[in-house]
Amino acid sequence: MDFTKLKTPDWLVIGGGIGIFIFGFLDWVTISGFGASVSGGNVFDFFFTGTVPWILLIASAVGTLLVSAEVLRSDQAPWPLIIFGATALAAFLLLIRFIFNPIDGASGLDVGRGVGMILSVISGLAAAVGGYLGFQAAGGDIKDLTDMDKLKSSFSKDSGNSLETGDAGDTPPPPPPPPPPTEN
């Protein structure tokens, strides 16, 4: 693999994927009270706001590597759009976990965010910025995301051999055979 093909947005997505892969295993929750402090939990203790973003960001990092290595081609799918969508969703879910920590700190306990959660959110935000910059570099615009016709057309696979009235993938019938020679 030629790493010189990777641009700054690619490095942000890859770095975010590596970051959450590592930081997801660190402590996500701290509990302190009554003169003691305990930390624990990790990304897998929170399915929708932990595990799902973990999977999305790692898949985006791998997808970015495969696109830059030209294993995944741009005529197969709109990869910059897919990577941007996955990283943006992951960052959004991580922010929900970070802002609205649902663990109740009842009975004099102070429930906080652990170093793993903080670093994972930073990794997710970095990957989302990289996904957005990659989407922009590929010619995408945020305004395009509100136009459903543009989104549908970016996923269509027109190989140039379809009939105007038929579905994609239809091929026209072969031409008729030439007429037999006539004898005069």
Q: Which domain holds residue 88?
A: 7-32+41-140
What is the SS3 string spanning the chain?
A: CCHHHCCHHHHHHHHHHHHHHHHCCCCCEEEEECCEEEEECCHHHCHHHHHHHHHHHHHHHHHHHHHHCCCCCCCCCCHHHHHHHHHHHHHHHHHHHHHCCCCCCCCCCEEEECHHHHHHHHHHHHHHHHHHHHHHHCCCCHHHHHCHHHHHHHHCCCCCCCCCCCCCCCCCCCCCCCCCCCCC
User: 104 lies in a domain?
Assistant: yes
User: 115 lies in a domain?
Assistant: yes
> What are the pLDDT digits (tens) for 86-112?
999 999 999 999 998 756 556 677 788
- Share of residues in the chain with pLDDT > 90 (%): 51
Check residue 155 and give its pLDDT.
80
pLDDT mean over 67-78: 87
User: 19 lies in a domain?
Assistant: yes
Check residue 81 and give its pLDDT.
92
> What are the pLDDT digits (tens) for 137-161?
988 888 878 878 877 887 876 544 4
Check residue 96 and give its pLDDT.
94
User: 181 lies in a domain?
Assistant: no
The total domain count for the chain is: 1
The more confident residue out of 113 and 92 is 92
User: 184 lies in a domain?
Assistant: no
User: 61 lies in a domain?
Assistant: yes
The more confident residue out of 84 and 169 is 84
User: 160 lies in a domain?
Assistant: no
User: 164 lies in a domain?
Assistant: no
State pTM to two decimals. 0.78
pLDDT mean over 37-59: 93
